[in-house]
Structure 1
Amino acid sequence: MNPIHFFTLGYYPEYLFIGIIWGIIIGFYTHFRVKYALNNSKLSKNKKLIINFIIPILAFICCLNIWSNAAILTLYLFLSSILADVIRIIWKYLIKDKYLNFIPQYHEKGILALVIFAIIIISGVYGMNHIELTEYNLTTDKINNGSYSIVWVSDIHYGTVQNPQLVKESISKINDLKPDIVVLGGDIVDERTTKEDMNEIFKELGKINSTYGTYYIFGNHDTQPDSIDYENGNRTFSDRELNKSIINNGIKILNDEKTSINDDIVLVGRSDAQWEGENNRIDIGKILNESDLSQYVVVLDHQPIKYEENSQQGADLQLSGHTHGGQLFPYSIFERLTGHLVYGEFHFGKMEMIVSSGLTGWGWPMRNEAKCEYVLININ
């Protein structure tokens, strides 16, 4: 990872207020925690004052951009220290045991907090580097020609935060499933994917064998929007080069378009809504009014939005990604508090909806919410 990403990793001014509040809380706590840790230090009074001034200020600065690695690591240090405080209190008042007499000293020097912090980070790195299959079984009376298996893969963000070899191994496992349909649900690449990596991932994905083909919808990161290219504003590949790489590898793009498969399934691929705005994309009602609703209608939308409208218009299934299942605590809490569907299976009227946590994640090379996954949907 480029060192600059430690403090950048995306900047959105609308979240600055949260960062300031976050920074004030952690900064104040850090001041008193560092003062406590230096109580028995042999350092001079002036050195203690300088240290106890600089560290809280650094903690505050790190929190200002809540989407940075600096912010999440500072938060986890804060939470680890709070948990260490709780352990110290429990030891003192509830289970004061001679075999645990090391706790006060380890707590005062911050060793206990650092051990907890290390566990959080190691588990997060482990979570980002293990990919699992998630399977759903759905039933319908709309299919006349047997059953179908759909593999849904989203949010690979290739060449950024996960070992590319893991992605290639997952593609091999997808091939072993012998799926009828493969759908790539957007954000397969992002603003930090090089042109070489972009071409490599679509070459690998083009190797997937499926009965009725591989289909692609765009996510909010695929086209490397300039507003989130934080280093220099320059793209590494153009829209034309991206589309060419996708198509040349035998993958069909559905961008506010639909296709019928074996007169049983209609795939409706939506253009990305660009951060939940409609982006002037075609109205779903217009697309579905021109579709055969006696077939099983699958709406493919990178972001898990407009599900109630899709249900009302006659869709049977919506597949989405984008959320990464929250990826890191406490971001999933923010997502749920703001009414977003973060991960799993949902029902709206007669329509079922599946939100995948994605094959990888974005930005941070860690994951402690949901899991890295590719999804197999059996429709019977």
Structure 2
Amino acid sequence: MTANWYLWRRLFRDTTGGPGRVRRSGAALIGGGWALAIAALVAERTGAPFWLQRVLAWPGFLWLALSIYLLLAVVAGELVRPLLRRFLEHRDRRGKRAVAAVPHRERVPAGAPAEKPHHAVSPPEKPRAEEPGAEESGAEEPGAEEPGPPALVTAPAPSRRLFVSRVVAGAAAAAAVGTVGYGTYGVLRGPGVKRVTVPLAKLPRAAHGYRIAVVSDIHLSPVLGRGFAQKVVDTINSTRPDLIAVVGDLVDGSVKDLGPAAAPLARLEARHGSFFVTGNHEYFSGAEQWVEEVRRLGLRPLENDRTELAWFDLAGVNDIAGESEGQGPDFAKALGDRDTARACVLLAHQPVQIHDAVDHGVDLQLSGHTHGGQLWPGNLLAKAANPTVAGLERYGDTQLYVSRGAGAWGPPTRVGAPSDITVIELASKQA
């Protein structure tokens, strides 16, 4: 509430001369925006009719993003405000000094004889006889002033404080709208492709150059639907991977509502198949139903399970959120009896699962969940909650790669954390 009042004050109250329609409209905009945002979140979590979710999602979630950057821009404006005021004061002082330095010439009424030098002596004028009829004709004397047009009445210029408030508020609004607009465009056009080479000590020479397409956090929803899923599928297939790993948070909604949006996943193409592990959002959306749905679409779910490929083991564990339903991660079940001489790649949605991966001798863990922070400075919050926010890092003998994800949760917007699909190219140290 305090932040909303602050936004209203700086954007509407301080930029107007007094109470009126603009201030009332500003209060309605800010209050209504937050009402839509809360309604969109509640509708998604409670499984409201899908048409209602779609009506609320776009304006509500976009307001979430816009309000964040309006607040940041207005706070930044507090630093600019005194500098701009000082600049204007300095300019005004310079202008006054310049005006004072210009000499003023005495104005002479029209028709009046010019003042003659004191040394000049003019001959006395002879009295002129009054012309007959001049008084009756109403003729004006030469030099008499004629009435001019009426003076225009102009509105007074705004005070310096009001002017500064309007400039700062306008700049803040433009910066926020531009940032959110560009960040939304970046999500809707689809993820880019990142390529990362990861050397594994146990990987045989024959597997050198093996490519795994990693995609996480697609977040199909009332905002990101079937068209977005098709873009993700087309981007993955264009990389021609050997294996596809979908590491959680595929959806934000039920199979009933989003099953058609997920249908393009059936067209994923990889030599050794496509694999899936749950993320925390699957447990908000009916994890069991989604596991069956992705199986129907041709992906293989790895529910605390492992498959032995030709050159390495591929394992997957459930997300931590499944613990509330008795379906949490079970590393012993997925990894306990494997041949530790073989390289092992683990799919686990959250980076915090890396510590269990280290204990079980995993060579490479592939994760998502963080979105890279999604909305700057969200990366600072993500860094506080996750060992790695994005990219490749080593923990003992285990490497962890965290994708920023393909989609977005809530606002379909990313700032400072562009979406990606990562092609992991495994490298053998024996090559």
Same fold, TM exceeding 0.5? yes
Decide which moves more: 67-76 or 252-261: 67-76
Of residues 356, 363, 367, the one that matches 2:410 is 363
SS of match in other structure, 2:352: coil
| C-alpha distance in 1 between matches for 2:79 and 2:304 | 53
Matched, 1:216 2:276: yes
Of residues 119, 135, 146, the one that matches 2:178 is 119
Mapping of residues 103-252 of structure 1, within 5 Å: 105=163, 107-108=165-166, 110-130=169-189, 131-144=191-204, 145-147=206-208, 148-162=210-224, 164-191=226-253, 195=256, 197-201=258-262, 203-225=263-285, 239-240=288-289, 242-252=290-300
Identical columns (%) = 23
Matched, 1:81 2:81: no
Gap change, CA 1:25 and 1:362, over 3 Å in 2: closer
Deviation, structure 1 residue 254 = 0.5
The equivalent residue for 2:127 is none
Deviation, structure 1 residue 279 = 5.0
CA contact (8 A) 1:185 1:219 kept: yes
CA contact (8 A) 1:158 1:198 kept: no
CA contact (8 A) 1:159 1:194 kept: no
TM-score, scaled relative to structure 1: 0.75
Give, as a single letter, the amino acid of the residue that structure 1 aligns with 2:277.
I
Mapping of residues 1-380 of structure 1, within 5 Å: 23-28=1-6, 30-31=8-9, 34-38=12-16, 40-41=17-18, 43=19, 51=24, 58=31, 69=61, 70-93=63-86, 105=163, 107-108=165-166, 110-130=169-189, 131-144=191-204, 145-147=206-208, 148-162=210-224, 164-191=226-253, 195=256, 197-201=258-262, 203-225=263-285, 239-240=288-289, 242-262=290-310, 264-274=311-321, 279=326, 281=328, 283-380=330-427
Deviation, structure 1 residue 270 = 0.5
Describe the superposition over 1:71-96 as per-residue Cα deviations: whole angstroms up to 9, x where unpaired. Answer: 44333222222233433433344697
Gap change, CA 1:121 and 1:103, over 3 Å in 2: farther
| C-alpha distance in 1 between matches for 2:37 and 2:239 | 45
CA contact (8 A) 2:358 2:395 kept: yes
CA contact (8 A) 1:30 1:56 kept: no
CA contact (8 A) 1:30 1:59 kept: no
TM-score, scaled relative to structure 2: 0.67
Deviation, structure 1 residue 299 = 1.3
Deviation, structure 1 residue 348 = 0.2
Deviation, structure 1 residue 260 = 0.7
CA contact (8 A) 1:161 1:361 kept: no
CA contact (8 A) 2:15 2:162 kept: no
CA contact (8 A) 1:161 1:362 kept: no
Deviation, structure 1 residue 200 = 4.5
Unaligned runs of 5+ in 1: 1-22, 226-234
Describe the superposition over 1:74-126 as per-residue Cα deviations: whole angstroms up to 9, x where unpaired. Answer: 3322222223343343334469779xxx9973742632222122212212212
Describe the superposition over 1:201-224 as per-residue Cα deviations: whole angstroms up to 9, x where unpaired. Answer: 2x4222222111111111122254
Gap change, CA 1:364 and 1:288, over 3 Å in 2: same
Give, as a single letter, the amino acid of the residue that structure 1 aligns with 2:299.
I
Unaligned runs of 5+ in 2: 42-59, 93-159
Gap change, CA 1:206 and 1:25, over 3 Å in 2: closer
CA contact (8 A) 1:133 1:374 kept: yes
CA contact (8 A) 2:372 2:382 kept: no
Give, as a single letter, the amino acid of the residue that structure 2 aligns with 1:105.
F
Give, as a single letter, the amino acid of the residue that structure 2 aligns with 1:183.
A
Size of the aligned set, in residue pairs, is 336
The equivalent residue for 1:19 is none
| C-alpha distance in 2 between matches for 1:32 and 1:358 | 36
| C-alpha distance in 1 between matches for 2:91 and 2:243 | 60
CA contact (8 A) 2:358 2:396 kept: yes
Deviation, structure 1 residue 283 = 3.6
| C-alpha distance in 2 between matches for 1:296 and 1:319 | 14
Give, as a single letter, the amino acid of the residue that structure 1 aligns with 2:294.
I
Q: CA RMSD in A?
A: 3.7
